[in-house]
Structure 1
């Protein structure tokens, strides 16, 4: 859902527009949402919203889809963008702590609830053609450069490590500023550049894509918010929704998208994956030495 109004204003406008078409249960969800503060929505799970409205988590999700947000995570993402820009990090942390409370069982459930929401949302955002294109590029490329900095670095390192174990020539970098130039210097024709970057439009992203164009490399962008902006300049965009609250790790969905790419590569290039897995295990055995009996 895209327009210049705040997420809450968008929500209220859609509720007014669709009110006559909504079921009583969906109206109950809408009434609660337009009355609640953004923070209440941001830190609530679908189940909690269902309990608060006397409906169910399925009704909450369906209502969010009817309103054009693609589900509860879509609304949370919109709210989080405004919340993050308007509220200082230490204040957000205090609010997060206040909302989760001190019930350890509840904290455990809340983390798993958000992780599940993000993963389900990521699954629904699959662009099958983009995924197929990304896999084909990685299968056929002579080498790959994987970029991810800050919270995105673990996902980038994960993909690079696993690609290397499957026999792909790959380099990973988290460098920014002048240091990134050394990594870009060796990006070559026909190679693949994979970028993990959830939302912030870093100067490095533009420079990376420009360099790929200049040398004839292809680009796969794994992002939450930058896909629309760079869609015309990269070969494939894969969605990886970031955390709206900070409760779960930023690279969670990026790592899962990477795992999907890796499994697809195994399927399409089984012999290379199996052969290099065998070599890796042989080297490990050699490094460990003979077992003492």
Structure 2
């Protein structure tokens, strides 16, 4: 089996400086993003310089960024299932409980840190502006993202922004699609590659001229309808167990900003919520 110099760089005895280890952790956790990034892009996300990124890559054992990209392409070509991702994570973390907790918290912290760039802030602001005029907002999520979609809808609805979840799979998804109508907006959480439900959703949203926001780790603008606003959010380490801290942070930022942009309606809706609670307490 070919050595994975990126993963080896994470070992405590790798001999890398703290800065180089930080670069290595980011590349390891965000392999698809790193593959599509220049040294300048990586530097901006990490809050460092191009030269530091290049020196760190060389310290990891690569001759150049091109050499790194060849390794990234090879690693991304491997098929990953939820079971293999979990096993890979467990093997890397080891059996110690404290190490496991620390590893997951560190990965989530790195994902949140990667959001704190001017690029991501601009993406989130663009998403809010895109959805703000909509009368209703459909939130799409499948699997664990479906639970996040339900949570975001609850936040939006209690703040006076009508929203609903779509995200059943197969033929049943047709029942979700018939709910869409002109004036709606669509926020989609999708990772990896496009699948049939998203393809049909994009088709219908385009037909109805609905604003689309996509939260993703690697789906590019070439694969989505024109004018789609894409917000980049990593889902843990590449080919490892999926984590959702970055997705939650992005969706909460969008929901909060939409509420701020609809301040009077938000306050009125929360007043009604409190009144209903008082009414319920009297029974």
TM-score (norm 2): 0.74
133 and 288 in structure 1: CA distance in 2 versus 1, 3 angstrom threshold:
same
Q: Following the alignment from structure 2 to structure 1, what is the Cα–Cα distance between the partners of residues 154 and 173? A: 19
Call closer, same or farther: CA 1:70–1:145 in 2, change over 3 Å.
Answer: same
- Summarize the alignment of residues 1-293 of structure 1 with structure 2, pairs less than 5 Å apart: 36-37=4-5, 39-40=7-8, 44=10, 52-56=14-18, 58-61=19-22, 67=39, 70=42, 79=72, 82=75, 85-86=78-79, 90-124=83-117, 126-244=119-237, 249-289=242-282
TM-superposed CA distance for 1:248, in Å, is 6.1
1:201 Cα deviation from its structure 2 partner: 1.5
Please state how far the C-alpha of 1:251 moved relative to its aligned partner: 2.8
Structure of greater Rg? 1
Asked if 2 retains the 8 angstrom alpha-carbon contact of 1:224 and 1:242, the reply is yes
* Count of residue pairs the alignment pairs up: 249
Distance 1:91 1:199, change over 3 A: closer
Is the CA contact 1:126–1:238 (under 8 Å) kept in the aligned structure 2?
no
Gaps of 5+ in 1: 1-7, 9-34
3-state SS of paired residue (1:261):
helix
Tell me, yes or no, if the aligned pair for 1:151 and 1:250 is still in contact at 8 Å: no
What is the TM-score normalised by the length of structure 1?
A: 0.72
Please state how far the C-alpha of 1:130 moved relative to its aligned partner.
3.5
RMSD over aligned Cα atoms:
3.3
Query: Is contact 1:131–1:238 with CA below 8 Å preserved after alignment?
Result: yes
